[in-house]
Amino acid sequence: MTDTTTLTETREAGFGDYVQLLKPRVMSLVVFTALVGLLVAPVHVHPVVGFASILFIALGAGASGALNMWWDADIDAVMKRTRSRPVPAGRVEPGEALAIGLALSGIAVVMLGLAANLMAAGLLAFTIFFYAVVYSVWLKRSTPQNIVIGGAAGAFPPMIGWVCATGHVSVEAWLMFGLIFMWTPPHFWALALFMKEDYHKAGVPMLTVTHGRKSTRAHILAYTALLVPVSVWSALSGIGGPFTLAAVVVLNAIFLQGAWRIWQRDEAMAEGDGYRVEKRFFRYSLSYLFLHFGAFVVEAVLGTYGLGGW
């Protein structure tokens, strides 16, 4: 055996594998929502401080993603959607993922405290703890409400962005939190409807597995209906205005119509057209969140010209 063959047998991780460990797609959503929280806050933030704050919030989110991948490596290996992730695929050692997750968590929290304020750093630390421990370790495998409660972790970034600018939590920050919190269940349950085999095989108690698919459809409609008042309230708050309200009415009407159609369908219909409605609802849910938060930014920009806000 030569040196070369020995090396061939070891699949060493490339830099991209470590980037994958941080869940860059989730990070992009975190960056966007945290940036919106920072931009719509009524306090001007120096661009360098703002950039650094968003960077460290994203790093914290990435760190919690690495911790999640370390803990969930066994079920990730079973699910088609996740089996090519660096840890289950064997490209990154589980211990390495844990070390990276812990180290980056510490760096992100300390640096956010130095860049912005201690309140923002504390919230980031709590978010990482919530996602890695409360959601990944505790809730995900023990309750079908995992998505509902775990969704809070994804809802914190705009609040942290707001706190970076203002130094405290106010009703607008809670409304942005509530928006993502209420949006998460219908978003993930729609995914669970057409990725049903994955969660079933992995033994994750998704609502589709524990309560059945009919119940999941009803839950999607219920949570979408509960999302509407939060969304409208946010449009009527200090970060909203006439433009946001108009956008929110349209966005919610389409979202609610999608949820209604999902509720009316049964499995035979869904199997018949390859879960077309469910897949479309899932894709639209991403646009919904992007456009909803985008409307807040447009309102803030209009406000600087004396055209936006109430």
Residues that bind another protein (CB under 8 A): 3-4, 7-8, 10, 12-16, 18-19, 46, 48-49, 51-52, 55, 111, 114-115
Minimum CB–partner distance for residue 20 and another protein (Å)? 12
Nearer to another protein, 15 or 305 (CB): 15
State whether residue 167 is helix, strand or coil.
Answer: coil
* Whether 59 contacts 107, CB under 8 Å: yes
- Closest residue by Cα to residue 238 from 43, 46, 80, 42: 42
Minimum CB–partner distance for residue 193 and another protein (Å)? 38
* Whether 187 contacts 258, CB under 8 Å: no
The CA distance from 11 to 9, in Å, is 6
Minimum CB–partner distance for residue 45 and another protein (Å)? 10
Nearer to another protein, 160 or 206 (CB): 160
Minimum CB–partner distance for residue 192 and another protein (Å)? 35
- Closest residue by Cα to residue 155 from 174, 134, 136: 174
User: Exposure of 225 by Cβ count < 10 A (0-12 exposed, 13-18 middle, 19+ buried)?
Assistant: middle
Nearer to another protein, 49 or 222 (CB): 49
Nearer to another protein, 54 or 139 (CB): 54
Minimum CB–partner distance for residue 14 and another protein (Å)? 5
Radius of gyration of the chain (CA): 21
* Whether 38 contacts 165, CB under 8 Å: yes
Nearer to another protein, 51 or 290 (CB): 51
Q: Which two tokens stand for residue 6?
A: 């020995």
